[in-house]
Amino acid sequence: MKCSKCGGMAVINLRQHRLRLCADHFVEWFATMTQRTIDTYSMFTPTDKVLVAVSGGKDSLSLWDVLLELGYQAQGLYIGLGIDEKIGYSDQSLDMCRRFLADRHPGAVLHVVDVTSEYGQTIPALARTRRRGLGKPCAVCGLVKRHIMNRVARDGGFAAIATGHNLDDEAAVLMQNTLHWQTGYLARQAPVLEERDGLARKVKPFVRIYEREAAAYALVCGIEYIYDECPFAKGSTTNFYKDLLNQLELNSPGAKQQFYLQFLRVRDSGQIALADAEKAEMHPCRRCGQPTTAGELCAFCRLWE
Ligand code: Q46
Ligand code: ZN
Ligand code: ZN
């Protein structure tokens, strides 16, 4: 298999773009694609400070890497969730983030917030005592992560929080939301969520990058990452929809991309009108000061009551 650009040995076949690329041209293509997405959706500029949420996985480490390579002021945020599940998941993932720094970007800044040492309980333990969600700690985990990311972004004066959500993630969520006609969620599913009432701006620079491309970028660049997903992600509905979309993609290369990007185009051109996301009144939480629509205390602070 030959590189479409230089005729050298290709390492990846991007069927949806009809491109086969060698290692160097793939890294170049990957950076261009990310840059184009940042520009198309006006995500941030080189003078902005960006906080990249890193988990030690391929998507977030590839994102942090490519942003630094592109010259952005990208700092990492790792949140230690205290998830062990017999594979030492959280310890391993922090280790990957630290190795990434040492090997690739020794001068970069990584913020580490450890939930257990800061709040006294691991996420699974907290979820068990709160009995939120059906045996899985994901609802509690999401709430805690959102709160901490927002706090660090606000305190550190970051222009945006960047997450490694890729096209596969977004297409799977879109499929789920469409099958259930969740119009509020569909209205809100976007590459950029603007800052609102003290909630930090959120951006997803990988919305045009396939999951296998983020993995290939990590491999080609020699970035080590944690292969295991969080043990609680197993059997999730998002993974189920990802599998379905991959079957579709196999027969029809570009199907995932078409599904998601066309949705954004149609929605943003106003061809379909979706019930706008509820814009409930926000006020600052009495304890932590973060915006909430609930009573005096936000959902995060109520968790620890
Ligand atoms: S929510 Fe659930 Fe994830 Fe938290 S407990 Fe793991 S799978 S990490 S994105
Ligand atoms: Zn080439
Ligand atoms: Zn609060």
Encode pLDDT of 114-140 as tens digits.
999 999 999 999 998 887 655 789 999
142 Cβ closer than 6 Å to some ligand 1 atom? yes
Q: Which ligand is nearest to the CA of 12?
A: 2
How many CA atoms does the CB half-sphere of 142 hold within 13 Å? 7
138 Cβ closer than 6 Å to some ligand 1 atom? yes
Q: Which ligand is nearest to the CA of 220?
A: 2
Quote the pLDDT of residue 34: 98
| Ligand 1 atom having least distance to the Cα of 233 | 7
Residues at Cβ < 5 Å from ligand 2 ion:
3, 5-6, 8, 22, 25
| Ligand 1 atom having least distance to the Cα of 236 | 7
- Distance between CA atoms of residues 204 and 272, nearest Å: 23
- Distance between CA atoms of residues 207 and 58, nearest Å: 15
Q: C-alpha angle 184/189/190, rounded to 5°? A: 140
Where is 74: in which H helix or E strand?
strand 73-80
Residues of the chain with pLDDT under 50: none
Q: Residue 246 burial by CB count (10 A; 0-12/13-18/19+): exposed, middle or buried?
A: middle
Answer whether 159's CB lies under 8 Å from 44's CB. yes
Quote the pLDDT of residue 120: 92
Q: How far is the CA of 115 from the centre of ligand 3 (A)?
A: 15
Q: Which ligand is nearest to the CA of 143?
A: 1
Quote the pLDDT of residue 288: 93
232 Cβ closer than 6 Å to some ligand 1 atom? yes
Looking at ligand 1, which residue's alpha carbon is closest to its atom 7? 233
Side chain identity at 195, as an amino acid letter? E
User: Is residue 195 left, alpha or beta, with left meaning phi > 0 and alpha meaning psi from -120 to 50?
Assistant: beta
Q: Where are the alpha helices (DSSP H) in the chain?
A: 23-40, 58-69, 89-104, 115-119, 123-130, 138-155, 167-179, 183-188, 211-221, 237-251, 255-268, 299-303
Quote the pLDDT of residue 268: 86
Residues at Cβ < 5 Å from ligand 3 ion:
285, 287-288, 298, 301
For a substitution probing ligand 1, which of 60, 204, 232, 239 has the most ligand atoms within 8 Å of its CB?
232
